[in-house]
Amino acid sequence: MNARPLLQAEHLHKEYKLPRGQTLRALDDVSLTVMQGETLGLVGESGCGKSTLGRCLLRLTDLSSGDIVFEGRNISALSERALRPIRRRMQMVFQDSYASLNPRRRIGDLIAEPLRVHPDNEGRKRSAADITARLDELMSLVGLPQSALARYPHEFSGGQRQRINIARALALSPQLVVADEPVSALDVSIQAQIVNLFTDLRERLGLTYVFIAHDLAVVRQISTRVAVMYLGAIVEIGDTDTVLHNPAHPYTAALISAVPEPVIRHDAQRSLLRGDVPSPVSPPSGCRFHTRCPQAQPRCSAETPELRDFGDARQAACHFPLGLSA
Amino acid sequence: METQTAASAPSPSRASVPGPWRMAGRSLTANRSAMTALAALMLVTFACLLAPFYAGDVARTDPFTSNVAGSFMLGGQEVDIMQPNDNPLHLGLSPVGPTWNPSAYMLGADSQGRDVAARLLYGGRNSLLISFSAALVCIAIATVVGVSAGFFGGFVDTALSRLMDIMWAVPVYLFAISLSIVTISQGLKIGPFTIESDNLLIPIFIIALVYVPYAARPIRGRVMALRNAEFVMAARSLGVPQHRILLRDIVPNVSTTLVVLTPLLTALALLAESALSFLSIGVQAPAASWGTIIQDGEGLIYTRPMVAIAPGLAIVIVVLALNILGDGLRDALDVRETSRRGA
Ligand SMILES: Nc1ncnc2c1ncn2[C@@H]1O[C@H](COP(=O)(O)OP(=O)(O)OP(=O)(O)O)[C@@H](O)[C@H]1O
Ligand code: SF4
Ligand SMILES: [Mg+2]
């Protein structure tokens, strides 16, 4: 594998100011690297900051602090205007396939928008003929009929709309696509089709994905690596097989044991999550998982575990990792 | 690899795919009460547009000059416009009452002997013109205010919103009356331009101005919702410049709000115009509006109530119809509700 980093995130912090002077830490010191050609799955319970991370990586939400290096260039402080040419290289597919399409514009108009605002590779404005040709190409790429171009978003099913979103994201031939739960709003039967489309496109176009999901089965199917998030931090990251079959972090193990056995075979002892996710406004001291962790010891609430390397291309943030000697 | 052509693609007939506007139009035409209201409005407007024809060719009267000494022909007989009073409680002369004959003082005469029916049509022209223009001007200003506040947020929003709050804190009629008294008594000088006190632009702009906060608030709310909409973030992620997002993604989605606001504001403006004219600080004599005619009828309310009732009824009908039409438009244009099918 040509393991060149495409995107590096260093110490990302994102805080939301809430009314009544409170601060919500949506991202707390997140660092990760996305390699060229890989698919990094991002999993975690609702509210753990997956979308926030995805949006911060693409500079769609402003960071509180931290650095993002994309294709060797630090983009974390660039202005919206300076970012514009870089946006061609990185795209997003959103969870809500309806909300992400302007209901008043035709599909052809929506997909042509990025082609109209960005010049072509020679720096010239694209001609109408070029755009039409590209639209036809994109429609066959995502498996939609040409006639769809003249229609409005509401005329399509969820799966079809997600194809439209994918076509639009691919219009400028990006390197990186961040997909934020692109299938979780779809019927199970349609989910498989869309996941297959993502895999197919990755092979054909050499794309790199950050694929956000809360469904481990989907993540396992598409990802080469997985990052597990809990309360705004990455608690475990590594190769998909390693992390999902032999988790080191008790939280990963708990997530896996919540999935029916045939989907993911795992050796982890059954450990069901108890209690609710603590509020990200006042996260627990020490290891943020200690309030729910079956392995918790007194040290856990006092001392924050750092992400540590375990020598098998995997890192976890736990004082007492499972199945490994610490 | 499998590149499945999505199984249930819509039938590929390219011919005339109904857009959101066309679908709204269909839903509006299917709404019987809205269509009745629209028909009533068109009828009233059309009748008022025919005012010169009615006065000149049917009633053969000049509704703008006093005619207390005159007479007219009714059924081959000459009838005095001012007649001895048939009400024992009142002394002196009263104007002729309704004859229900379109060519001879159909709704009677007012205290100056002028044809009420003809004045009603002329007055309607002014009332409708002022209220509709005021609504449009108001919406134009409110759009600029609401879109700027909603889209740019921060300081712009705070400043504009506070200004709107202050304006809205003053009762609308009090505000309009104060402005009118000043401008009507002095005319309006803006740089080299002088607007005479009988110019219709004065009531139009005053009414438009006092209702700006009323219209700006929902527009701002809509824009703020749109600014956070996922399709706006999608446009940003595609590298679409801000001004283009505003023009192509935000404004078209605000236009439905504007369309719904138009009839509602026209109704409010009509009421305000009538009130101002009734108080002699709107349309100036000898020109008429429904408000001035009601004022003319005030003194005749016991002897010739028709003078006040006719314009009053006209106002009620038009305001009611505008509100029904506004409701119909709101239902028809609710994109989410009419077209959002399963995700
Ligand atoms: N604009 C905002 N203002 C305040 N808090 C926010 C905002 N956006 C997100 N949050 C909070 O940040 C945290 C992370 O949210 P985020 O949407 O990233 O979670 P998520 O992992 O994507 O969840 P889900 O699976 O539900 O999409 C949540 O606690 C959320 O309430
Ligand atoms: S550090 Fe302690 S509380 Fe945290 S996950 Fe590991 S064992 Fe559980
Ligand atoms: Mg999310």
With 60 as the cut, is the pLDDT of residue B62 above it?
A: yes
Q: How far apart are CA A220 and CA B13, in angstroms?
A: 40
Question: Residue with the nearest Cα to atom 6 of ligand 2?
Answer: A318
User: Would you say residue B1 has pLDDT above 80?
Assistant: no
d(CA A301, CA A292): 11
Task: Collect all residues of chain B within an 8 Å Cβ-Cβ radius of residue A106.
Answer: 17, 19
Instruction: Return the C-alpha torsion angle A63, A65, A69, A74, nearest 10.
Output: 100
How far apart are the C-alpha atoms of A147 and B9, rounded to whole Å? 9
Q: State the nearest Cα–Cα gap between A65 and chain B, in angstroms.
A: 20
- What pLDDT digit, counting tens, does each position of B103-119 carry? 888 898 888 889 999 99
Model confidence over A223-233: pLDDT tens digits? 999 999 999 99
The pLDDT value given to residue B69: 83
Q: Is residue A163 part of a domain?
A: no
Residues 6+ apart with CB under 8 A from B119: B63, B110, B288, B293
What is the β-pairing status of strands B77-80 and B71-74?
Answer: antiparallel
Do B339 and A103 make contact, defined as CB atoms within 8 angstroms? Answer: yes
Q: Is B236 on the interface with A (CB under 8 A)?
A: yes
Whose tokens are 């052509």? That residue is: B5
Task: Looking at the CA of residue A212, tell me the nearest atom of ligand 1.
Answer: 22
Say if residue B261's pLDDT is above 60: yes
- pLDDT band at B5; cut points 50, 70, 90: very low
In a domain, A308, yes or no: yes
DSSP calls for B7-68: TTPPP---TT---HHHHHHHHHHT-HHHHHHHHHHHHHHHHHHTHHHIIIIIS---TTS--T
Q: How many helices (H) and strands (E) does chain B have?
A: 14, 6
Candidate from A13, A14, A16 with most ligand 1 atoms within 8 A of CB, to mutate? A16
The CATH number given to B119-342 is 1.10.3720.10
Q: What is the pLDDT of residues B78-110, one digit of tens each?
A: 888 888 876 666 667 888 888 888 888 889 888
pLDDT tens digits along A246-272 = 899 999 999 988 776 665 655 555 566
pLDDT at B338 over 60: no
User: Which CATH number do you get for residue A270?
Assistant: 3.40.50.300
Q: What is the mean pLDDT of residues B214-231?
A: 93
Residue keyed to tokens 């009531």: B203
Report percent pLDDT > 90 for chain A.
72
CB nearest to B17's CB, from A146, A151, A160: A151
pTM, to two decimals: 0.82
Mean pLDDT (whole number) for B23-36? 90
Domain-embedded: residue A47: yes
The beta-strand segments (E) located in chain B are: 71-74, 77-80, 82-84, 93-95, 188-190, 193-195
Q: Per residue in B262-276, pLDDT tens?
A: 999 999 999 999 999
Contact B44, B123 (CB under 8 A): no
Q: Report whether pLDDT(A321) > 60.
A: yes
Residues β-bridged to residue A9: A32, A68
* Residue among A60, A102, A160 minimizing CB distance to B9: A160
Closest atom, ligand 1, to C-alpha of A53: 18
pLDDT in tens, B293-320: 999 998 888 888 899 999 999 999 999 9
> Residue A20: inside a domain, yes or no?
no
> What are the structure tokens assigned to B131, written together?
């209220």
A2 falls within a domain: no
SS (H, E, C) A254-265: HHHHCCCCCCCC
Domain, as residue range, for A241: 36-54+79-89+172-316
What is the tally of structural domains in chain A?
1
* Residues 25-44 of chain A whose Cβ lies under 8 A from any Cβ of chain B: none
Chain B residues within an 8 Å CB radius of A88:
239
Report chain B residues whose CB lies below 8 A from the CB of A154: 20, 335, 339-341
Is the separation of the CB atoms in B124 and B290 below 8 Å? yes
Per-residue pLDDT for B172 more than 50? yes
Looking at the complex, does the CB of residue B239 fall below 8 Å from at least one CB of chain A?
yes
Q: Which atom of ligand 1 is nearest to the CA of A280?
A: 29
Q: Residue A144 and residue B6: Cβ atoms within 8 Å? A: yes
At B7, is the pLDDT very low, low, confident or very high (cuts 50, 70, 90)? Answer: very low
Euclidean distance between the first and final Cα of chain A, in Å? 30
Domain edges within chain B: 119-342
A100 in contact with B, Cβ within 8 Å: yes
Give kind and range of the element (H or E) at residue A82: helix A80-87
Asked if A205 reaches chain B (Cβ–Cβ under 8 Å), the answer is no
pLDDT bin (cut points 50, 70, 90) of residue A156 is: very high
Q: Confirm or reject: Cβ of A214 under 6 Å from ligand 1.
A: yes
Model confidence at A2: pLDDT above 70: no
pLDDT per residue as tens digits for the range A21-68 = 899 999 999 999 999 999 999 999 999 999 999 999 999 999 999 999
pLDDT digits (tens, 9 = 90+) for A185-207: 898 889 999 999 999 999 999 99
Phi then psi dihedrals of residue A309, to 5 deg:
-80, 140
Q: Does B22 touch chain A (CB under 8 A)?
A: no
Mean pLDDT across A135-152:
94
Residue numbers of B between 244 and 273 with CB closer than 8 Å to A: 244, 248-249, 252-253
Higher pLDDT, A202 or B72: A202
